[in-house]
């Protein structure tokens, strides 16, 4: 796999799948009434999972985005 396709790595998609699995509260029972900071625990976990997806995406943009070798901005 070349560097230009590193953003399509199966590892990256695996991380997204795990984070999506954490973020979507389908595995919480309807009877779960635990609270954290005044919010249902499932909501806190979902928000933290969404934050993790956002941070991972930002890291990918900063560190793994393919570089253009031609230098578009140069005059």
* Sign of the four-CA dihedral 9, 11, 12, 13: positive
Q: Is the pTM of the predicted complex or chain greater than 0.75?
A: no
CB neighbour list of residue 1: distance below 8 Å, 6 or more residues apart:
9
3-state SS track over 9-74? CHHHHHHHHHHHHHHCHHHCCCCCCCEECCEEHHHHHHHHHHHHHHHHHHHHHHHHCCCCCCCCCC
Distance CA 22, CA 35 (A): 17
Q: What is the pLDDT along the chain (75 residues), one digit of tens a residue?
A: 445 555 678 898 999 999 998 888 888 888 888 999 999 999 999 999 999 999 999 998 888 777 766 655 555
């Amino acid at each position: 796999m070349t560097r230009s396709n590193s953003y399509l790595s199966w590892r990256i998609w695996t991380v997204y799948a795990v984070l999506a699995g954490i973020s979507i509260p389908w595995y919480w029972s309807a009877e779960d009434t635990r609270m954290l900071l005044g919010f249902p625990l499932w909501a806190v976990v979902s928000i933290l999972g969404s934050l993790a997806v956002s941070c991972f995406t930002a890291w990918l943009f900063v560190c793994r985005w393919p570089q253009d070798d031609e230098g578009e901005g140069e005059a």
